[in-house]
Amino acid sequence: MTDGVYCLLVYLMCKSFACRLWEASIIRVRKAGERGHFDHGWLDTYHTFSFGDYYDPAHMGFRSLRVINDDRVQPGQGFGMHGHRDMEIVTYVLDGALQHKDSLGNGSIIRAGELQRMTAGTGVCHSEFNPSDKEWVHLYQIWLLPEHKGLKPSYEELAVGEAQQRGRFRLVASPDGADGSLTIHQDARLYLASLLPGQAVAHPIEPGRAAWLQVLRGSVNLLGYDLSAGDGGAVTDENAISVQAAVPSEVLL
């Protein structure tokens, strides 16, 4: 996972009523320094939207997108067994490795460039742990509201190679698991792309839909807005989104 921009396109249905304040303008930028931040020593975490002890009524999510957490976990540390309900949880590992175990009997190590999807549904417990004794793990966790409550809990993984996403948006999660993507239970689609400096990609936005861009590392230009690591932006009332890399970077859209 070197050289390039990794864009995770969250392509959202507008039926959710969460955080209508974001919808007043075409692009609303959320700067990295405005996010909720907690440094617990073993965990350095940033919250784009309200989460846990961080609460801001103006930032409760964006449509069906409820959580974007940017986490770095110390070697040999992690989240002990804890429970979730009625949420679609997608985890993307940028650097290092993350060990996952859950009450469904799943247990594996997710490495850089790999994703996992967990449908919490009626209830599931899981733990997330950094198995390394020297390397921090850097991950993003994305939560989406499910299409309805009470789904059967389930889990799956996806590895996406650099060649699959170079210069294009590669579908990595969708409602129907199209093109080998993860299956999420919401009318939303996630894409991953890799761009060299100066390279650009575009994606159409159908009427009634919106998109979110989150810069993971480096810097890019989003429809005329320069965004740096940790910055995010909501895109509404546009018929397409375009992203151009300024330097080797990673981005969640």
Confidence of residue 8 (pLDDT cuts 50, 70, 90): low
Q: What is the mean pLDDT of residues 162-172?
A: 82
Q: What is the mean pLDDT of residues 228-238?
A: 93
Nearest CA-CA partner of 239 in 208, 201, 199, 193: 208
pTM summary value: 0.89
Residue 133 is predicted with a pLDDT of: 96
Confidence of residue 20 (pLDDT cuts 50, 70, 90): very low
Residue 249 is predicted with a pLDDT of: 78
Pairing of strands 5-13, 250-252: parallel
Alpha helix (H) ranges present in the chain?
162-165
Name the residue with higher pLDDT: 47 or 11.
47
Q: What is the mean pLDDT of residues 216-225?
A: 90
Q: What is the mean pLDDT of residues 13-30?
A: 54
Calpha distance 217→222 (Å, rounded): 14
Confidence of residue 128 (pLDDT cuts 50, 70, 90): very high
Name the residue with higher pLDDT: 15 or 224.
224
Confidence of residue 146 (pLDDT cuts 50, 70, 90): very high
Single-letter residue type at 201 = V
Contact 171, 179 (CB under 8 A): yes
CB atoms < 10 A from the CB of 104, how many?
Answer: 15
Mean pLDDT estimate for the chain: 89
Residue 195 is predicted with a pLDDT of: 84
Calpha distance 84→76 (Å, rounded): 23
Confidence of residue 13 (pLDDT cuts 50, 70, 90): very low
Q: Is the pLDDT of residue 162 over 80?
A: no
